[in-house]
Amino acid sequence: MLSNENLKEDWQELTSLLERDFGEGEALELDAIIYLVGVQEYGDPHKRFKKDDKVNLMHIAICRLLEPYGYYQFSHLDNDGWPHYDKVEDLPPLRSGEQTILMKEAIVNYFKEMDYLTV
């Protein structure tokens, strides 16, 4: 688990990189970054997604981001190439701020694992 100060620094570095590469210089909100993770995990960044697909991409991202914490486990890819996860354990009750911290930490760790963030 990252300290609050390290998480803050890593998050700022990550969002700067993502805004440069994907946000055309504009700030990216947490939901937009989760969506990017979902597209990455789906594996076809050039596909045009329908509204329902976008919700599914965010679900895939959340499952993938929380997998290292033991909450989800990758199950399989379906015939259309969509990843599926099984819930292993329920998330503990978290306040809104705690959820945000957990997701930011998971996102930072994900991008470090992908060698995108190298701080």
**Segment 65-74, tens digit of pLDDT:** 999 999 999 9
Structural domain contains residue 119: no
Tokens of 117: 């963030």
Report the C-alpha gap between 14 and 107 in whole angstroms: 9
Structural domain contains residue 15: yes
Q: What average pLDDT score do residues 73-94 get?
A: 95
pLDDT of res. 90: 95
Q: Evaluate if residue 1 carries a pLDDT over 70.
A: no
Q: What is the pTM of this model?
A: 0.92
pLDDT of res. 46: 85
Structural domain contains residue 63: yes
Number of domains the chain contains:
1
Structural domain contains residue 27: yes
**pLDDT band at residue 98, thresholds of 50, 70 and 90?**
very high
**Domain region containing 52:** 4-113
